[in-house]
Amino acid sequence: MIVQQELVAVYDYQVPVPEDPFSFRLEIHKCDELFTGAVYRQERFRLHPTFHQPAKNDAPLPINDALIYIRDEFIDERKLFGESVEAVKTKFQCELQNIFNRKI
């Protein structure tokens, strides 16, 4: 059985903390009459060539940092469901407030 979901909303959140801000993306999907949320966290990855073999006169390689959204494992997505986009959004914001002790 193939399940089709419609992506109905995408929200980006940034939580400022003294070190590096946390960036989250909330995607809200609709399947039948149920709305569900998927949470991603933005992470920085330093990319290196796998088999780099520099010649003597080669300049140093540039730093290649990539910002990539990965699935967040700390927010329980099983709680992110509801009958509307607003219901899912509110549940997600409550989860962020519980984790970071900050108002959104």
pTM: 0.80
Reported as a single tens digit per residue, the pLDDT across 20-63 is 889 999 999 999 999 999 999 999 888 777 776 777 777 777 77
**Token output for 67:** 């910002």
Residue 23 makes CB contacts below 8 A (sequence gap 6+) with 12, 13, 14, 15, 41, 42
So what's the pLDDT on residue 50? Answer: 72
- Contact (CB, 8 A) for 97 and 104: yes
Q: Where are the domains of the chain?
A: 6-48+59-100
103: Cα within 13 Å, side-chain hemisphere: 0
43: Cα within 13 Å, side-chain hemisphere: 11
